[in-house]
Chains A and B, each alone.
Chain A
Amino acid sequence: MTAYTATVTVRLKRGVLDPEADTTRKALERLGFDLDGLRSMDQFEVDLDAESEDTAADRADEMAQRLLANPTLHDYEVVVEERGA
């Protein structure tokens, strides 16, 4: 078994309104920053032991499908890296 960290990034699908990001963008603009856009997303780092990188990725993918992301709202991606001792 190898120790991995699976990083699951969950973001709103293109075209889904993100009022929190809009509010954050406006607050940055009030602070004097000039920006063309801003998106927010959730990121989860899952530490897990697995037989292979593919197995770790499959498990993280299932976590995203069953809980971390809502398929109506979100796209997600999974990146797996070996975790240092």
Chain B
Amino acid sequence: MTVSVVQFGGSNCDRDAVRALTHLGIDAERVWHEDGLPADAEGIILPGGFSYGDYLRAGAMAARSPVMDEVRAAAEDGVPVLGVCNGAQIGSESRLTPGAFTTNRSARFQCEDVYLRVENADTPWTAAYDEGDVLSIPIAHGEGRFEIEADRHEELVAENRVLFRYCDEDGNVTEEANPNGSTDNVAGILGESDTVAVLMPHPERATLPELGSTDGQGVLGGFA
């Protein structure tokens, strides 16, 4: 398994992702978006950052770059794809995953540790956890509020596609524990297949022991 970490102009979590994966014993390499995906890409990360300066909407430009046609095709072939933060915004803008991530309720950039409750442990990204487990993983975003049409969200919940919800330390999903005003406290969501997922929190920042929490290791372990 070699994971391709797709680097756009303005990506800034690509090195962190490679280092975190390497720490877990998973081969990973950065791939410049204009070079296209390697033919043998066995996993794909869309990393965090501020691709194209967040012009128009966060992720809007990168989502329409040619490499994303390759990412979509790979995803349809079953290659695991994980979008983190800006990568989550790119994933939703490119319709890999449903809904949209937009301006935080606070209208501010927020960089803080949050708690996440594992809502579906039957996916590659959460197989290391049990449903209801509480993870401490940081967020760092200005546009992380998950928005979706009400009827579409009901379908997603019914299909068990909510991966993580923001919660308090004890796992209670409350309005107070919702850092950005996301619909139904959604922090991470699955695409049409459970091998495709996006989340706003940064598992690669909660993987190396020297950074504190290692709760994010299981998410990246989905590539193992």
Contact = CB atoms under 8 A, between A and B. Distances in A.
A72 B64 contact: no
Contacts of A68: 56
Contacts, number: 36
Interface in B55-101: 56-57, 60, 64, 92-93, 98-100
B93 to A, nearest CB: 7
8 contacts: A16-B102, A16-B147, A17-B181, A19-B181, A67-B56, A70-B57, A72-B148, A73-B100
User: Which bracket fits the contact residues of A?
Assistant: 10 to 19
Nearest to B64: A67
Contacts of B64: 66-67
Interface string B135-154: 00000000001011100000
Interface size class of B (residues with CB under 8 A): 20 to 34
Given A17-B105, A72-B98, A72-B148, 18 more contacts: A17-B145, A19-B103, A19-B104, A19-B105, A19-B106, A19-B181, A20-B107, A22-B107, A23-B107, A67-B60, A68-B56, A70-B57, A70-B60, A70-B100, A72-B99, A72-B149, A73-B102, A73-B147
